[in-house]
Amino acid sequence: METADKVGANVADRLVNPEDTSLCMKFHIRGMDFASGGEASARIRGVCVQLGLPASVTRRVAIVTYEAEMNIVIHAIRGTLQATITPEQVEIEAVDQGPGIPDIDRAMEEGFSTAPPSVREMGFGAGMGLPNIKAHSDALTIESVVGVGTRVHSVILVGQ
C-alpha cells in the first residue's frame, strides 16, 4: 500500500498549485448535429454542480451555454463552446463559422428568428436564444461578420 499512499500525497500537492485557480473546458460543436446538441452544456452544468457554485449561477450557466450551443447547431457550420470558471466568474465563449448575424439588434428581439421551418418543427428556433442569453448574463458581447461567423461572449458573476 506504500505506492497508494503516495498517490494521496500527490493530490494534496496539486491543490496548492496556483495554476489551478481557474478551470477551462472547450467543446467542438457541429452544425445540424441535433443528436449531440446539448451534450456540451450538460457537461458544463455537471461541472458547475460538482464545483458547488451557487444554484442560481449554475442555472444561468446551464441556460446560456445551452442556448449558445444550440445556436451553433441550428445556424452554423461548426464552432466551439468554451467555459472558463474562476472563483469570481464564469466566462462563456461561443465562436462559430457560419452565416453571421446581419442585424444583431434585431436578433436580440424576442421572437425574431431566422431558423428554417425544419428546425422550428423540432421545437427549436423560437427566437428566444439570444434574448435568453442576454437575460441571464451579467455582461454580453456579440460580434458577427456576415458570411464568416459569430462570437458570443458572456460573463456570469459568481457573487451576484
Q: Assign 123 to helix, strand or coil.
A: coil
75 binds other proteins per the rule CB under 8 A = no
47 binds other proteins per the rule CB under 8 A = yes
In the bound complex, what is the minimum distance in angstroms from residue 102's beta carbon to other proteins? 26
Q: What is the DSSP letter of 81?
A: E
In the set 87, 102, 116, 147, which binds other proteins (CB under 8 A)? 87
Residue 20 grid cell: 489551478
In the bound complex, what is the minimum distance in angstroms from residue 74's beta carbon to other proteins? 14
111 binds other proteins per the rule CB under 8 A = no
Q: Give start and end residues of each alpha helix (H) in the chain.
A: 2-15, 39-51, 55-75, 104-107, 117-121, 129-135
35 binds other proteins per the rule CB under 8 A = no
Whether the CB-CB separation of 132 and 63 falls below 8 Å is answered with: yes
Q: Assign 68 to helix, strand or coil.
A: helix
Q: Which residue has the cell 495554476?
A: 19
56 binds other proteins per the rule CB under 8 A = yes
List interacting residues with other proteins (CB under 8 A).
3-4, 7-8, 11, 14-15, 17, 20-23, 25, 38, 41-42, 45, 47, 49-53, 55-56, 58-59, 62-63, 66-67, 85-87, 132, 158
